[in-house]
Amino acid sequence: MTDVIKKDGRRERFDEEKLKASIMAAAREAGVMNRRWVKDVIENVSASAIAFSRGKKEVEAKKLREMILSDLDKLEVKIADAWRDFDKKEK
């Protein structure tokens, strides 16, 4: 299993369910309410994240985030923007 290295150096196991919940929260925040579409976006982005981290012992959270946002930009920019807005609030 892959560890995600946070910017403060902490390590967490890659958690697909956490990723899916984060995308769902961003979709709600963005007002994207088509459940089928959101589910498809979540599945596509999750699959990409899993493929990105597969075979790696560790991956930096920043790199994983960039990959996720890149995919979201291609699939549903409103969700990507909501994710970025949340990130700004957290800083």
Q: Is the pLDDT of residue 1 over 80?
A: no
pLDDT tens readout for residues 2-23: 899 999 999 999 999 999 999 9
Q: Is the pLDDT of residue 91 over 70?
A: no
List, for residues 78-90, the tens digit of each pLDDT value: 999 999 999 888 7
Nearest Cα to Cα of residue 64 among 7, 26, 10: 7
Q: 44, 4, 11, 41: which is closest to 25 by C-alpha?
A: 41
Encode pLDDT of 19-68 as tens digits: 999 999 999 999 998 989 999 999 999 999 989 888 899 999 999 999 99
Which pTM does this prediction carry?
0.86
Count other Cβ atoms within 10 Å, centred on residue 3: 15
